[in-house]
Amino acid sequence: MMNAQVHILGPQFSTFVRSVMLCCEEKGITYSYGFSLEGSTIEMKSKEHLALHPFGKIPVLLHGERKLYETATICRYLDAEFDGPVLQPEDSYDRALVDQWCAAISLYIDQAIVREYLLEFAFPKGENGSVRMDKVSAAQPYVKELLQMLEVKIGGAPFICGEQYSIADALVTPMLDYLANLPQGDELLEPNPLIADYVERMRKRESGLKVLRPLAGKK
Ligand SMILES: N[C@@H](CCC(=O)N[C@@H](CS)C(=O)NCC(=O)O)C(=O)O
């Protein structure tokens, strides 16, 4: 299967799609992305989409005949299936810690930072398309708490789970990159200099330069 085409179903602006793209870039896997599949466009929540992802989410990985959903699962599969730098530690406890952070990022951090905060800016639901600042203000304290938690977690290490770039980094950097780009970015990151520095370093990696692009490149 190594030579089969890798396609990531979903738009380039999605944080989770970007996480899979980052894993591909880190491992040197050639891939395509977007909603176009075998010449037709897959509409969100359509019969065709639900056949690939019964919960109606993106991304979905298509690798030859194989189909897979859930971002961390997709990244673990790519790591195991392809050559290139490994994105998980070998030691069983260290590996479990990466899995633990992947779950925490995909569940709790995604909910607080992406769903309840970033999406308020990306898809404003207020009057005349305005950002609902009451929702932003209500969500912000927990966003700050989580950033503080990540600041403690990274400590002096280069990556979220220590010395090695892992799937946990691929999951969290698209979220932090968007956060840092907001007008509130400085206020959020100033109290967390290690995380601020981490975002800058992840943006400058080869994978970051390719994937963490502004939305103009969206497909
Ligand atoms: N647990 C899923 C979450 C996927 C997810 O929430 N994807 C978002 C885009 S970043 C989505 O599909 N949103 C559209 C929707 O919920 O209708 C994963 O890890 O892949």
Using the mean position of ligand 1's atoms as its centre, give its distance from the Cα of residue 106 in Å. 9
Residue with tokens 């002096």: 156
Q: How many CB atoms lie within 10 A of CB 98?
A: 24
Residue 32 C-alpha from the chain's centroid: 16
Which DSSP helix (H) or strand (E) runs through 199? helix 193-204
> CA 63, CA 42: separation in Å to the nearest integer?
16
Pocket of ligand 1 (CB under 6 A): 14-16, 56-58, 70-71, 106
Whole-number pLDDT of residue 213: 78
Rounded Cα gap, residues 135 and 27, in angstroms: 38
Angle, CA of 189, 162 and 156, to the nearest 5°: 50
* Nearest CA residue ID for atom 12, ligand 1: 57
The rounded distance, in Å, linking the Cα atoms of 30 and 110 is 27
Q: Determine the atom of ligand 1 nearest the C-alpha atom of 15.
A: 10
Per-residue pLDDT at 38: 86
* Res 215: pLDDT: 63
Atom of ligand 1 nearest to the CA of 16: 10
Distance between CA atoms of residues 153 and 147, nearest Å: 10
Residue ranges covered by each domain of the chain? 6-81, 92-209
Token pair listed for 148? 């503080």
Task: Tell me, in angstroms, the distance from the centre of ligand 1 to residue 55's CA.
Answer: 9
The third-level CATH classification (topology) of the domain covering 6-81 is: Glutaredoxin (3.40.30)
Rounded Cα–Cα distance for residues 176 and 154 (Å): 13
pLDDT digit of tens for each residue in the chain (219 aa)?
778 999 999 999 999 999 999 999 999 999 999 999 988 999 999 999 999 999 999 999 999 999 999 999 999 999 999 999 999 999 999 999 999 999 999 999 999 999 999 999 999 999 999 999 999 999 999 999 999 999 999 999 999 999 999 999 999 999 999 999 999 999 999 999 999 999 999 999 999 999 997 764 433
92-209 CATH, one of 3.30.365.10, 3.30.499.10, 3.30.1490.100, 1.20.1050.10: 1.20.1050.10
